[in-house]
C-alpha cells in the first residue's frame, strides 16, 4: 500500500511511519524538518495546499498527524497548522483520488472540562473545547469527517496522552519540572487518567489505515485502557527518568486561578516559553479522563500490546542510555 504520513518528525508520526515501512508499505512522509526515515520525504508546510497535493498524488491512504501541539501561542498559529493544514490534506486527498484518510485528532476536542469516566468518543465541539489547541483540533476533526464520502473514507483517531522514549510533549516537560522542583500534585492526585504508550498508539493508527473503508465517518478514542491515579502516573514517569517525584500539593482552585493569571501574562508579553501553569493543565492534572475502549478495539481489530508496567520499564531503559 502507498501511504503518505504527515508530521513524521514527531514521536508518534515517526513511530507510525516506521511501522508502516517495516511491514512493507511504500511510505512517503511530509513535514517541515527531516525525519531521518528510510523512505521518500517531502519537506513542506502541511498548510501549503500545492505541496500537499503533490505529495498525496498516487497514494492509497494518508495518515495526517502534522499539527501544532502546545499550550501557548496565538490562535492564528493553531488555525494555520491544524485547521488550514487539515483542509490542505482533505483537498489533496480529493484531488489525488486517495481512498483513505486517517485523521489524528485528540480527546480534548470533546472535553468541556468536566470529568470523563468511561466516556466514548463524543462529537467534537469547538465551542466548548478548552484552549486554542483543543478548539483548533475540534474544527479540524469536523472538517475531516465532513469529507467522508464514497470516494474518500475518513476515520478520526484520538490517541490520549501518548508517551514513550524521546517524548518532548509530555514526558520531557514533566521531567523538567520535576528536576527543577516545580512539579506538585493538584488536589488529591487520585483522579483516574488514561494514557497511551507510543507503540500502542502507532499500532492503532496502522490498524486504522487497514480498517478505514469498512469503518469510516466516526471518531475513535485510543488509549492503553489502564486508568491510573494522576499522582501515580507522574511519580512513575519521574522514577523512570531518575528524577524526584511530585513535591507538595496545590489546591485545584488555586492552580486554576494561577493558570488564568499566567495565561494573561503570557498573552500580554507574547512569551513563547511553556508557562508553569494554565487552566487547561490544571484541569488535566485534577480531573478524571478515561475512556471506554470497546468500540475502538472492535472497529480496528486492535488491542494494546505494551502494558503500562512494560512501558515504564522501556522508558527507564531509554533514560539509562540517553
Residue 272 within any structural domain of the chain: no
Does pLDDT of 272 surpass 70? no
Does pLDDT of 269 surpass 70? no
The band of 168, judged by pLDDT with boundaries at 50, 70 and 90, is confident
Residue 280, pLDDT score? 64
Q: How much is the average pLDDT of 288-298?
A: 91
Q: How much is the average pLDDT of 89-104?
A: 97
Residue 121, pLDDT score? 87
Question: Residue 26 has which C-alpha cell?
Answer: 511504500
Give the residue among 142, 140, 155 at the shortest CA–CA distance from 61: 155
Is 197 among the residues known to form the active site? no
Residue 282, pLDDT score? 61
Which CATH number goes with the domain that contains 301?
Answer: 3.40.50.720
Residue 245, pLDDT score? 87
Q: Are 49 and 103 in contact (CB under 8 A)?
A: no
Residue 41 within any structural domain of the chain: yes
The band of 279, judged by pLDDT with boundaries at 50, 70 and 90, is low
**pLDDT tens profile 181-221:** 888 877 777 889 999 999 999 999 999 999 999 999 999 99
Kindly report the three-state secondary structure assignment for every residue of the chain: CEEEEECCCCHHHHHHHHHHHHCCCEEEEEECCCCCCCCEEEECCCCCHHHHHHHHCCCCEEEECCCCCCCCCCHHHHHHHHHHHHHHHHHHHHHCCCCEEEEECCHHHHCCCCCEEEECCCCCCCCCCCHHHHHHHHHHHHHHHHCCECCEEEEEEEECCEECCCCCCCHHHHHHHHHCCCCCEECCCCCEECCEEHHHHHHHHHHHHHHECCECCEEEEECCCCCEEHHHHHHHHHHHHCCCCCCCEECHHHHHHHHHHHHHHHHHHCCCCCCCCCHHHHHHCCCCEEECCHHHHHHHCCCCCCCHHHHHHHHHHHHHHC
| Number of separate domains in the chain | 1
pTM check: above 0.85: yes
Does pLDDT of 114 surpass 90? no
Question: Considering 78, 133, 197, 319, which one is annotated as catalytic?
Answer: 133
Burial status of residue 276 (CB atoms within 10 A of its CB: 0-12, 13-18, 19 or more): middle
Q: Are 107 and 118 in contact (CB under 8 A)?
A: no
The band of 173, judged by pLDDT with boundaries at 50, 70 and 90, is confident
Residue 171 within any structural domain of the chain: no
How far apart are the C-alpha atoms of 233 and 231, rounded to whole Å?
6
Q: Are 289 and 110 in contact (CB under 8 A)?
A: no
How far apart are the C-alpha atoms of 113 and 111, rounded to whole Å?
6
Q: Taking all residues of the chain, what is their mean pLDDT, rounded to a whole number?
A: 89
Domain that holds residue 51: 2-166+195-224+291-305
Q: What length is written for the chain?
A: 322
Residues 6+ apart with CB under 8 A from 240: 312, 313, 315, 316, 319
Bridge partners (DSSP) of residue 220 are 157
Residue 254 within any structural domain of the chain: no
**pLDDT tens profile 30-71:** 999 999 999 999 999 999 999 999 999 999 999 999 999 887
**More confidently predicted of 5 and 113:** 5
Does pLDDT of 317 surpass 60? yes
Residue 247 within any structural domain of the chain: no
Amino acid at each position: 500500500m502507498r501511504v503518505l504520513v504527515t508530521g513524521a518528525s514527531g514521536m508518534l508520526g515517526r513511530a507510525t511511519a516506521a511501522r508502516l515501512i517495516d511491514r512493507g508499505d511504500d511510505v512517503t512522509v511530509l513535514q517541515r524538518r527531516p525525519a531521518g526515515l528510510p523512505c521518500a520525504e517531502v519537506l513542506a508546510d502541511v498548510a501549503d495546499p500545492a505541496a500537499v497535493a503533490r505529495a498525496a498524488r498516487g497514494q492509497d491512504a494518508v495518515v495526517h498527524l502534522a499539527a501544532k501541539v502546545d499550550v501557548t501561542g496565538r490562535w492564528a498559529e493553531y488555525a494555520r497548522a491544524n485547521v488550514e493544514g487539515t483542509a490542505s490534506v482533505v483537498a489533496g486527498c480529493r484531488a489525488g483520488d486517495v481512498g483513505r484518510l486517517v485523521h489524528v485528532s485528540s480527546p480534548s476536542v470533546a472535553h468541556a472540562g468536566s470529568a470523563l469516566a468511561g466516556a466514548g468518543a463524543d462529537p467534537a465541539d469547538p465551542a466548548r473545547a478548552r484552549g486554542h489547541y483543543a478548539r483548533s483540533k475540534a474544527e479540524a476533526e469536523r472538517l475531516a469527517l465532513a469529507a467522508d464520502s464514497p470516494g474518500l473514507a475518513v476515520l478520526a483517531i484520538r490517541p490520549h496522552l501518548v508517551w514513550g522514549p524521546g517524548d518532548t510533549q509530555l514526558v520531557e516537560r514533566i521531567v523538567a519540572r520535576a528536576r527543577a522542583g516545580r512539579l506538585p500534585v493538584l488536589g488529591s492526585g487520585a483522579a483516574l487518567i488514561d494514557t497511551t504508550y507510543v507503540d500502542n498508539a502507532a499500532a492503532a493508527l496502522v490498524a486504522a489505515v487497514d480498517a478505514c473503508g469498512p469503518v469510516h465517518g466516526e471518531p475513535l478514542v485510543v488509549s492503553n485502557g489502564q486508568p491510573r491515579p494522576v499522582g501515580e502516573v507522574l511519580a512513575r514517569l519521574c522514577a523512570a527518568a531518575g528524577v524526584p517525584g511530585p513535591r507538595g500539593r496545590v489546591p485545584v482552585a488555586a492552580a486554576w486561578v494561577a493558570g488564568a493569571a499566567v495565561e494573561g501574562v503570557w498573552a500580554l508579553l507574547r512569551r513563547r516559553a511553556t508557562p508553569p501553569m494554565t487552566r487547561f493543565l490544571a484541569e488535566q492534572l485534577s480531573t478524571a479522563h478515561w475512556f471506554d475502549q470497546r468500540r475502538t478495539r472492535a472497529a480496528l481489530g486492535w488491542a494494546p500490546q505494551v502494558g503500562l508496567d512494560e512501558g515504564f520499564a522501556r522508558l527507564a531503559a531509554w533514560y539509562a542510555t540517553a
